Amino acid sequence: MSKLSFRARALDAAKPLPIYRNKDLPDLTDCVSINRAVPQMPTGMEKEEESEHHLQRAISAQQVFREKKESMVIPVPEAESNITYYDRLYKGEFRIPKQLIHIQPLGLDNELPDYDMDSEDETLLNRLNRKMELKPVQFETMMDRLEKASTNQLVTLQEAKLLLNEDDYLLKSVYDYWVRKRKNCRGPSLIPQIKQEKRDGSTNNDAYVAFRRRTEKMQTRKNRKNDEVSYEKMLKLRREFSRTMSILEMIKKREKSKRELLHLTLEVFEKRYQIGDFSGEILNEVTVPLAEKTIYPAPISLPMSNRHKAESKIKSHKPVPKHLHPFTVKPEPHFDFVHSHKKYNKRPKLDTFRQPVRPERQQTINKADIKQYDFHSSGEEDYPLSPASEPDEENDPDGIFAFRRKAGCSYHAPLVDQSCTPHWQQTGQDRLWQRNCLTALSVPRRCIAVARGRVGRGGRVVLDRTSSDLDRALRHLDPDMFYPSADSIVPDLPVHTNTNSHNSKSSPQRSLTQLLSDIQACRWKFFRPRPLQENSRGEDKKGTPQVEKGGAAPLSSSVSGGFTEEQFHSHQQQLVQMHKQLQQQELQQNSTAPELHTHVPNAVSSDCMSKTLDSASAHFAASAVVNTPNNENRPQIASVNGVLPNSGSFRQAKLNRSGGGGESGSLVRMTNSSNPQLAVPQSLPHGHGHLSTVSAVSPAHTHHSARLCAPSPSALKLASVASSLDRVPKVTPTSAIDIARENHEPERLALNGLSETTVAMEVT
Amino acid sequence: MADSSVEIIEGCRLPVLRKNQENEDEWPLAEILSVKDIPGRKLYYVHYIDFNKRLDEWVTPDRLDMKKLQFPKKEAKTPTKNGLSGSRPSSPERDVRKSLDLNVQSASAPSRGKTLPTPKRKAESVSLATQVTAATPVPSLPSSTEATQASVYPAMRDSSFSIKSREEHEQLTSLTTNGTTRRLIPAQPGRKRKNCGGTDEMVKVFQNNNPRCSTIYLPPGEDSQDSSDGIPSAPRMTGSLVSDRSHDDIVTRMKNIDCIELGRHRLKPWYFSPYPQELTALPILYLCEFCLKYLKSLKCLQRHLTKCNLRHPPGNEIYRKGTISFFEIDGRKNKTYSQNLCLLAKCFLDHKTLYYDTDPFLFYVMTEYDSKGFHIVGYFSKEKESTEDYNVACILTLPPYQRRGYGKLLIEFSYELSKVEGKTGTPEKPLSDLGLLSYRSYWSQTILEILMNLKSENGERPQITINEISEITSVKKEDVISTLQYLNLINYYKGQYILTLSEDIVEGHERAMQKRHLRIDPKCLHFTPKDWSKRGKW
């Protein structure tokens, strides 16, 4: 054997190897087997097996003979291929399709049971089939369900009944059979299954456990360990992204349903308008079951998103939503006048009037009368988020009443420029009395000392109680003092009046239709009476001009001008008219007897009490009178009022019902706090206080200012007092507006950033 | 022949009668793996030493040559502890081997000296391991109890080793109860192990320290411990072949299914397969020929067939020529079928692991069409993403179709896929004996085909690089080289390497190619490789 006299170079896979036939190499013997020079390649077998007898024999045979010899083949256990019943077992033929077979990912599951009947089952089936028809598949399905519903414990017969939904005899027989069979079964299940791994790792070594899940581990290339780290980071990223995705999806879904709700609400409202359901009975009838479930009363929403938390709030609200100023209503002298004065060109539609006096308990108000949507003020840059995207909105108790921007509306910041009015500089008691008044509840009938009422977000009446050293004494005041006449019942709410409810048939006045057309022609979308507070003047019910203040209602763009007295007047008429209609409707109703009545005390002019107005009507009256010294609408008011004593209770009841809460409102009586007994003294000595009180009379202010909501009666009172004092001449309507605004600006702001003194009233 | 006075227990070795292929009687040495009592007599499950496990069988006592019975090596006899604590780690091995050899020599069976690999490597790790072992309290069993060692063992090992770290375990696996170090002996020079760690160093360490695979054909006492190395450690997650035999226990070493009926065929399983345990007692396990669902009785199969309307593997047909078709099945999308296929395949593949799910694999099922449908002939599985250039994980021709060229067809198809992918590939290791023969045969024929068809250009001698062969065939370079070596084609001549084709090689090749009728026609392949790495998860 020739030996390598030199060291062979390594075999280079990239180097061409010339190919020789042995016959071309006469000096073949000079060839050196280089097998030792080339690294021996592994066979890839387990070493021990490589040495197996048959393999070695086969390999050597191959090397010797270059061909397999029958005897040199590795022996294997035999296999037979002569199943005679094959054709009976596999029935039918399968024609080969011309195209390559392509399996559709779907459509494989046709819900056939995994359980396969055995001959034992067949016996049972045959037996059962004597009494009923039971198909094998049916039987298998039953067994399958029983099997799959059972874990370690068998399903009970009861569960089986639910599971199978078969008739009792069949169910029982199959169930019993199954239980028996299952107990005799050697395996864990009648459907043989591969053993599953257990999580505790106890099956790690169990040979019968197969197809374990792989822990997710990246197959990284060799020598790239950091791949794994980045891979995990990417996994994490991916997880987080997908979480984001799902959150966004949910937000989208939510917003869609919110939009849907809005549309539906609008639709409901329009429908109600069309069928004249102003008081909400129809709606109530339809929604009675729902109403019972309603836990919170549907509050009247305010045009502004007034959401304040106050101690005496009836419903606990979520703290101020983001887009609102977190003002508290405590009588703090300073407010954060953040926003520059902006005028509202348009107000969002406000289709409702609020209840000036809200009962302390759940006061329910007809939803439909309510404008459910609050709107952002566009001037509130602090809260740029649209409500739609607020993540916490789901928790917002306002729900549908949450403020929503309306397309095409521009929203402005509250008016703040005139806010610093002298009366804020007052201190001590003065201020206390100025902003609060002596308040009594009708139910329970007691005096709650100094407080002020306001309409909170959603129209809830909020009483902010203030402590003073007089409290103790005040508590013991006879609440009846506030009710000069026991009969005087103030019909609560003329609620629905304005917004969409221009009942054409009920508006006999030419001026109303004219107004309407005017408004439409001018594209005035909103009718916003502007309160004129200054010259409130008591008005006798009999028609003596009571009030010297009027809510001038500038239409859309104009703040102070634009709206003629005539228009306003006609609008007032319209309101009154609607109010009247309402009352008449209510009278006609057979309403459930309300327990509580809203009494508006009129401490001063007791003669007015017979026709005590609810705050709303008081507003109407007052504002109407203010602007119309002539008596044009007085008769109507009178008539309205005239109805009231009779209808008050009904209306109350009805309102309650319509609110869905069914709770009767308790009366809140407030007198101007500066003088517990009389509003007059306050109004007189403190012009501002007086004005502010009066301002409550204006619809606008009742909406906005906390104070106003409750005290409208006192405003009336004041008005009458004022009239009696003959202060009327001093104040022109316009100046009244200004003054009123001056006086109330801070308050408004305090009361949550009311941006305007006026209430938007949708006319169209 | 059986002497009832001597109890034959697991681990005993003795010559057992078996018929060879020429139907002659042979008395190869065999190991008793299990004993079972059936009414009237005892049956012994024997493994013929140096024969593949697939030939293991239950035998009656009359086939045992009781005269040459060797009991399992006694633990006390092995000089383990002394030897182990000694400073020369290698000596115990030698001692053990010598004594074993002596034992073996005394038997009439073919000397098993060759089965024991010579301890080429005395790795440093051995000494470490032995010392550790010595420190470990090793339950020493009296000889009488040794018979039950195998069965007792699992509990023992769990208690004694569960607290050990995995590395320790790997070192200790071979050293357990007997304390012999023999399992460290088997050097595994050629073995390509799949590394779990990914770095070459780790592979090396692993090879040095992991003695597991060596145990099967070792003498009785040692074998029984084999089941013992008890560290529950999951096999690597890639690939589907186990090179980690730590889970080898006596259960998996024995066939558990008697017979499988699949379509027209009755198959005798070769190896253990984890079919539901309650089905293993059946004389025949019935499989639906098309969906491969396992059923306990013919009646169940009948019922199943009324509901199963599959007439082909539930995948996309990506190749059809004549009656031969290939279906591609995604192990993630079609878990049930994939698992059923794996269970069936496991009956015929020793090293296949079903430890993990089938998600990362594609299954290519070769079928033969007849009027009843597409009958499964064989299959191979393939990792969707292989980090080690594997283009086949497991490959199997079902026994009824073996030795008819289908295996080579499967292999050829796997390389066609690699060609489409533009990669070279190699089968996952370890190969079985049949796998090695098949692959060698395929490689040889493929390479020889190229070499013999090379024409000399302008009078010069044709030449080719190994890389070129690899590119043309998609056979991985190492496999090309090993084939060239195996065929003895590479020679060093006048300062350079040359390939020489001898006459017998050429003739043999030509004869073989004449028999090779079944070929894959690349034109019939409709296959678009998917980039699984971009799909996130397999």
The pLDDT tens digits for B401-425 are 998 999 999 999 999 999 999 999 9
pLDDT category of residue A51 using cuts at 50, 70 and 90: confident
pLDDT category of residue B203 using cuts at 50, 70 and 90: very low
The pLDDT tens digits for B429-462 are 999 999 999 999 999 999 999 999 988 777 788 9
Q: How far is A156 from chain B (nearest CA, A)?
A: 25
Residue B48: what pLDDT?
93
Residue B180: what pLDDT?
35
Q: Of A79-93, B211-225, B347-361, which range is least confident?
A: B211-225
The minimal CB distance from A194 to the residues B198, B339, B501 is found for B339
Asked if the model's pLDDT at residue A377 lies above 50, the reply is: no
Q: CA A498 to CA A763: how far, in whole Å?
A: 7
| The three-state (H, E, C) secondary structure of B332-343, written as one string | CCCHHHHHHHHH
Residue B248: what pLDDT?
61
DSSP at B403: T
- Scanning every residue of chain B, which has its alpha carbon at the shortest distance from the alpha carbon of A93? B372
Q: Of A593-602, A675-684, B11-20, B215-224, which range is least confident?
A: B215-224
Residue A287: what pLDDT?
72
Q: Of A23-37, A235-249, B256-270, which range is least confident?
A: A23-37
Highest mean pLDDT among A601-610, B221-230, B336-345: B336-345
pLDDT category of residue A516 using cuts at 50, 70 and 90: low
Q: What is the mean pLDDT of residues B281-285?
A: 93
Q: Of A263-277, A346-360, B44-58, B231-245, which range is least confident?
A: A346-360
CB–CB of A442/A668 below 8 Å? Answer: yes
Residue A280: what pLDDT?
78
Q: CA A79 to CA B402: how far, in whole Å?
A: 10
CB–CB of A625/A698 below 8 Å? Answer: no
Q: What is the mean pLDDT of residues A101-106?
A: 78
Residue B460: what pLDDT?
83
DSSP at B327: E
Instruction: State the pairing for strand pair B265-267/B260-262.
Output: antiparallel
Q: What is the mean pLDDT of residues B119-124?
A: 38
- Scanning every residue of chain B, which has its alpha carbon at the shortest distance from the alpha carbon of A61? B437
Q: Of A168-172, A604-608, B46-50, B409-413, which range is least confident?
A: A604-608
Verify whether the Cβ–Cβ distance B189 to A31 is below 8 Å.
no
Q: What is the mean pLDDT of residues A333-341?
A: 45
Q: CA B125 to CA A79: how far, in whole Å?
A: 46
B517: Cβ contacts below 8 Å, ≥ 6 apart: B405
Q: How far is A157 from chain B (nearest CA, A)?
A: 26
Q: What is the mean pLDDT of residues A572-589?
A: 69
Residue B305: what pLDDT?
93
pLDDT category of residue B5 using cuts at 50, 70 and 90: low
Q: How far is A385 from chain B (nearest CA, A)?
A: 37
Q: What is the pTM of this model?
A: 0.53
The minimal CB distance from B54 to the residues A9, A77, A136 is found for A77
pLDDT category of residue A342 using cuts at 50, 70 and 90: very low
Residue B302: what pLDDT?
93
B147: Cα within 13 Å, side-chain hemisphere:
11
The question of whether B201 is a catalytic residue gets the answer no
Asked if the model's pLDDT at residue B286 lies above 90, the reply is: yes
Chain B residues whose CB is inside 8 A of the A94 CB are 311-312, 371-374
Q: CA A206 to CA A212: how far, in whole Å?
A: 11
Structure tokens that stand for B465 in this block? 């690089």
Q: Computed over its alpha carbons, how large is the radius of gyration of chain A?
A: 44
Highest mean pLDDT among A46-60, A632-646, A740-754, B130-144: A46-60
- Share in percent of chain A as helix, strand, coil (round to 5): 40, 5, 50
The pLDDT tens digits for A392-421 are 444 555 666 777 777 777 777 776 555 444
**A88: exposed, middle or buried (Cβ count in 10 Å: 0-12, 13-18, 19+):** exposed
CB–CB of A22/B503 below 8 Å? Answer: yes
pLDDT category of residue A368 using cuts at 50, 70 and 90: very low
Q: What is the mean pLDDT of residues A556-581?
A: 61
Residue B154: what pLDDT?
37
pLDDT category of residue A249 using cuts at 50, 70 and 90: very high
Q: Which of B26, B93, B428, B507 is catalytic?
A: B428
* Nearest C-alpha neighbor of A348 from the set A306, A390, A388: A306
Asked if the model's pLDDT at residue A135 lies above 70, the reply is: yes
Asked if the model's pLDDT at residue A145 lies above 80, the reply is: yes
Highest mean pLDDT among A144-148, A665-669, A690-694, B264-268: B264-268
Q: CA A657 to CA B288: how far, in whole Å?
A: 71
Q: Is A111 on the interface with B (CB under 8 A)?
A: no
A732 in helix, strand or coil? Answer: coil
% of chain B exceeding 90 in pLDDT: 48
Residue A33: what pLDDT?
56
Q: Is A167 on the interface with B (CB under 8 A)?
A: no
Residue A24: what pLDDT?
78
Chain B residues whose CB is inside 8 A of the A12 CB are 497
Residue A65: what pLDDT?
66
Output b/e per residue, A265-274; b: 16+ Cβ within 10 A.
Answer: beebbeebbe
Verify whether the Cβ–Cβ distance A113 to B464 is below 8 Å.
no
Phi, psi (degrees; rounded to nearest 5) at A165: 60, 45
Verify whether the Cβ–Cβ distance A116 to B355 is below 8 Å.
no
Chain A residues whose CB is inside 8 A of the B351 CB are 46
Q: CA B235 to CA B241: how far, in whole Å?
A: 9
Residue A204: what pLDDT?
77
Asked if the model's pLDDT at residue A734 lies above 90, the reply is: no
- The better pLDDT of the pair B214, B473 is held by B473
Asked if the model's pLDDT at residue A79 lies above 70, the reply is: yes
The pLDDT tens digits for A446-483 are 666 777 777 777 777 777 777 766 666 666 666 565 55
- The better pLDDT of the pair A735, B535 is held by B535
B525: Cβ contacts below 8 Å, ≥ 6 apart: B318, B319, B326, B413, B416, B417, B420
Q: CA A530 to CA A563: how far, in whole Å?
A: 10
Phi, psi (degrees; rounded to nearest 5) at B26: -130, 155
B496: Cβ contacts below 8 Å, ≥ 6 apart: A18
**DSSP structure string for B347-387:** TT-SSB--SB-STTEEEEEEEEEETTEEEEEEEEEEESS-T
Which amino acid, A232?
E
Q: What is the mean pLDDT of residues A501-522?
A: 56
Mean pLDDT rounded to a whole number for chain A: 62
* DSSP element (H, E) containing A439: strand A437-441
Residue B458: what pLDDT?
77
Q: How far is A246 from chain B (nearest CA, A)?
A: 19
In chain B, how many H helices and how many E strands?
16, 20
% of chain A exceeding 70 in pLDDT: 37
Q: What is the mean pLDDT of residues A663-676?
A: 39
% of chain B exceeding 70 in pLDDT: 67
Asked if the model's pLDDT at residue A284 lies above 70, the reply is: yes
Q: Of A42-51, A743-752, B196-205, B366-375, which range is least confident?
A: B196-205
The pLDDT tens digits for A193-202 are 898 888 777 7
% of chain A exceeding 90 in pLDDT: 8
Q: Of A285-299, B100-114, B268-282, B302-316, which range is least confident?
A: B100-114
- The better pLDDT of the pair A319, A416 is held by A416
Q: Find the angle CA(B183)-CA(B185)-CA(B189) to the nearest 5 degrees.
A: 115
Chain A residues whose CB is inside 8 A of the B200 CB are 222
Within its chain, how far is the Cα of A757 from the centroid? 29
Asked if the model's pLDDT at residue B320 lies above 60, the reply is: yes
B480 in helix, strand or coil? Answer: helix
DSSP at A45: B
Asked if the model's pLDDT at residue B526 lies above 90, the reply is: yes
A714: Cβ contacts below 8 Å, ≥ 6 apart: A437, A601, A602, A603, A670, A671, A672, A679, A693, A696
- The better pLDDT of the pair B153, B384 is held by B384
Residue B413: what pLDDT?
97
Q: CA B379 to CA A78: how far, in whole Å?
A: 20
Region label for B408, one of left (φ > 0), alpha (ψ between -120 and 50) or beta (otherwise): alpha
Within its chain, how far is the Cα of B269 from the centroid? 14
| The three-state (H, E, C) secondary structure of A127-144, written as one string | HHHHHCCCCHHHHHHHHH
Q: Is A3 on the interface with B (CB under 8 A)?
A: no
Q: Of B126-130, B262-266, B380-384, which range is least confident?
A: B126-130
Q: Find the angle CA(A120)-CA(A126)-CA(A128) to the nearest 5 degrees.
A: 105
